[in-house]
Amino acid sequence: MRVLPFSAFVGLDELKKALLVLAVDNSIGGLLISGPKGTGKSSIVRAFAELLPVIEVITDCPFNCDPYDPSNMCDVCKERYEKGEKLPTKVKKMEVITLPIGATEDMVLGTINIERTLKEGRLVYEAGLLGRANRNILYIDEVNLLPDHIVDAILDAAAMGWNIVEREGISLKHPSKFILIGTMNPEEGELRPQLLDRFAIGVKVQTMRNPKIRAEIVRRNIEFEKDPEGFREIWRFKEEELKRKIAEARRLLDKIVVSEEILERISNTCVSLDVDGYRPDIVAVKVARALAALNGRTEITEEDITAGLKMALIHRTRAEGLKPPPSEQEILSAYYSSLKLRPRAQSKLKKRENISERKRFFPGWSF
């Protein structure tokens, strides 16, 4: 399926920013895109895949195992690696693995290949979508229409980074580390609060009401349909520039300084908004770091912090589900109020204790 180059999409700046953040630090987790149909949600995700780097995989492994990382190999590849076997490799582009609305548990988790089992006289496991999605993008369109048990299985794998299969005489474990992206149209039903919370960041998109922007969207789509290759050539430089930007940001990520003050601002904001758990605080910090890296900086700015808070909180219910997600204005108001709550001074001992505690949760980070 041919889609516009990522750089050529108009009016989706916040969504673009969120996708680039995931490209820089995919440990952040999943992205939930909420908005009406026809706003380019699916298309921009497919265009995003073109920006991601190629990966080297073990040729005959259905789970795209990394040949140089035994800690993230499936049981079969790890056994071969430990025996000293030379593993055949190949380079391939990252791809978008789409989960269909009618997906069954077998399709998601994997199942026994009956035909090959009968033919070969042994149990043959066929990888599910969670296996194929390893080191790729798992895209779920209309995630709010999927059965809860399917969504739970996917989110469990996304959180652990592994899929454990124990069924019909098969017992195996394989890596399932992917960039999870889900879309939903709120008019067709909401997600349970527990599931909303499992998506690390959220972005809301809307139909453009500005006539000039709508006209530009139409013009670019018509030009692309008329001459896809010529249109891609026009945008090639910007696409390559984005690829370089992502690669440089990945290298810079571990050098980003996260100060005690930044952590306090984010935590005070989350407390003020009655946000449940600690995951939103962690996500907001990670997003702020990734945004700083994308802009070639080693220091986090106020703009990075507020953007991180918006992405981390805009979709989350609060007060154990009794309050709806905060609006953008509520998030910003809570953040600026938090600046007045910050203690003016701390003892050196207390600062050292806090920094030590942060390093337990964020090993390798700079404070």
Report the percentage of the chain scoring pLDDT > 90. Answer: 66
**Cα distance between residue 224 and residue 216, in whole Å:** 12
Place of tokens 């001074």: 345
Q: Is residue 352 predicted with pLDDT exceeding 90? A: no
Q: Is residue 341 predicted with pLDDT exceeding 60? A: no
The answer to whether 101 and 184 are in contact (CB under 8 A) is no
Strands (E), 162-223: 162-167, 170-175, 179-184, 201-204
What confidence category does residue 363 fall into, taking pLDDT thresholds of 50, 70 and 90? low
Q: Is residue 147 predicted with pLDDT exceeding 70? A: yes
Element (H, E) at 286: helix 279-294
Q: What is the pLDDT of residues 165-181, one digit of tens each?
A: 877 667 788 999 999 99
Select from 30, 13, 330, 311 the least CA-distant residue to 177.
30
Residue 349, amino acid: L
DSSP 186: G
Q: Is residue 356 predicted with pLDDT exceeding 70? A: no
Select from 66, 19, 65, 68 the least CA-distant residue to 40.
19
Residues 6+ apart with CB under 8 A from 237: none
Element (H, E) at 226: helix 211-226
DSSP 150-176: HHHHHHHHHHHSEEEEEETTEEEEEE-
The structure tokens listed for 297 are 């900086």
Q: What angle do CA 153, 204, 186 make, to 5 degrees?
A: 65
pLDDT of residue 32: 96
The structure tokens listed for 157 are 């794998």
Compute the mean pLDDT over every residue in the chain, rounded to the nearest whole number: 89
Q: Is residue 367 predicted with pLDDT exceeding 60? A: no
**Cα distance between residue 20 and residue 18, in whole Å:** 5
pTM score: 0.86
The answer to whether 21 and 311 are in contact (CB under 8 A) is yes
Residues 324-346 have a mean pLDDT of: 80
Domains of the chain: 6-53+94-204 (3.40.50.300), 256-361 (1.10.8.80)
- For the four alpha carbons of 59, 64, 65 and 66, in that order, the dihedral sign comes to positive
Q: What is the pLDDT of residues 32-65, one digit of tens each?
A: 999 998 899 999 999 999 999 899 999 999 999 9
**Cα distance between residue 113 and residue 123, in whole Å:** 8
Give the catalytic positions in this structure. 279
Q: What is the pLDDT of residues 220-263, one digit of tens each?
A: 999 999 999 999 999 999 999 999 999 999 999 999 999 999 99
